[in-house]
Amino acid sequence: MNIRFTNARIVTMDGDVTCFEGELWTKDDIISYVGKAVLDSSIQGSDDRFDRVIDCAGNVLMPSFKDAHTHSAMTGMRSYADDMPLWEWLSTKIFPLEAKLTADDMYAFTQLAALEYVSGGITAVFDMYMNPERVADALNEMGIRYVGCCDINKFGPSLEEVERRFKVLNRNDGFSSYFMGFHAEYTCTKELLASLSELAHKYESPVFTHNSETKKEVEECIERHGMTPTQLFESLDMFRFGGGGYHCVYMSDEDIDIFKKHDLTVVTNPGSNTKLASGIAPISRYLDEGINVAIGTDGPSSNNCLDMFREMFLVTGLAKLSDMNAAAVVPNEVLKMATVNGSRCMKLSDCDVLAEGKKADLIMIDMHQPNMQPINNITDNIVYSGSKTNIRMTMCNGKILFEDGQYDSSVDPEKIYETANALMDKYRE
């Protein structure tokens, strides 16, 4: 479908975070024009005939959000186990329930997550979970891009299975890709990590993991290995081909130097870290050091929502509080983290900004709501006062997935809700 968006405020995120008034055209899955308004007479009879013209009425068009760390299928455990520190939460509630879930359960719970993603302007997710093929199927069928990360640990899967998944899920279709990774240092043996490093070298794959999320994690790693998690991974040459870490709350100077050396990404998850009382990541320091910082929601059982607006506010708000500096981590940087930096982390270079030839992955922000008025500064409004209610439209690959509060006609949200509740009713018994 070819669509022309007119009368828009456009934030391309291509270079400086600036806004201009103009229009944007899509042709099938590609952005075919973005720029100043064009007179109708100048495009009549051209190859770009439009199936639909959407008057944005001064609303904002910008790149869609990229959720750079999540566990989509954990929607089933939303509000199931709350108000606990990380390890107690995992060992007494989450791991036992996860052991009961089937691949089809995870598919159903991921469909529920997909509804939340698109209604909040997220069109690509970096997911780490079991049965990744079913997770990828659920997301792709809902129109969302899946980037997977292996969650191997000492309980499984086998290295042979990891290699099989790597081959199958790297589909080269723009909708499914897969990186090497592992759950965390504390759930893996050193021997397993060494073997995974060899596999990453074989396929020249980036490696991602939960890293330095809590003080306990770092202190116990030092007791076991005489070094921090980041230093252990470096000793095993795990980052030869890049990658990064999720959380990265407690990082030493040497850890930060390792991230700089390999151009690794820090994926910060402020909502989850706040709720689990894990700590506040030193985002200002990472930015000062030139480290790529992306934003993830983490799973919907530790957060408990998949809301990039809330994450954006927490990134800047917690940084200001931690640094005791009201100017720390300004909105323009935060908006980059939620879009361009996430795309870089996930190697989605064809849908990072709004530019001709890029994939048509974009959102419309409704400025005709009280929390967006007056329009003194658009990016400040989005980061400081924006919410999911401001998502007027979400498009991925040229297809509108959510518009004016309605999902694509092929999606039945009530059926998805019913299935998710029935599954949890069974597991709570």
User: Which amino acid, residue 328?
Assistant: A
Structure-block tokens of residue 366: 């409704």
pLDDT tens digit string along 126-144? 999 999 999 999 999 999 9
pLDDT less than 50: residues of the chain: 47
Structure-block tokens of residue 327: 């100017």
Other Cβ atoms less than 10 A from the Cβ of 424: the count is: 18
Taking CA atoms, 162 is separated from 75, 156, 157, 232, in Å, by: 24, 9, 7, 21
Tell me, what's the pLDDT at 222?
98
Structural domains of the chain in order of their starting residue, each with its CATH number: 2-63+350-407 (2.30.40.10), 65-346 (3.20.20.140)
pLDDT tens digit string along 266-325? 999 999 999 999 999 999 999 999 999 999 999 998 999 999 999 999 999 999 999 999
CA dist., res. 317 & res. 384, Å (int) = 9
* Bridge-based pairing state of the strands 60-63 and 65-70: unpaired
* Residue 151: closest CA among 137, 132, 133, 135: 132
* Location of structure tokens 């469909």: 111
* Bridge-based pairing state of the strands 362-365 and 122-127: unpaired
What secondary structure does DSSP assign to 235-281, as a single string? HTTTTTT-EEEEE--S--HHHHHHHHHTTPEEEE-HHHHHHTT----
Residue 307: burial class (beta carbons within 10 Å; 0-12, 13-18, 19+): buried
* Residue 339: closest CA among 327, 324, 355: 355
pLDDT tens digit string along 149-174? 999 999 999 999 999 999 999 999 99
Structure-block tokens of residue 342: 């996430």
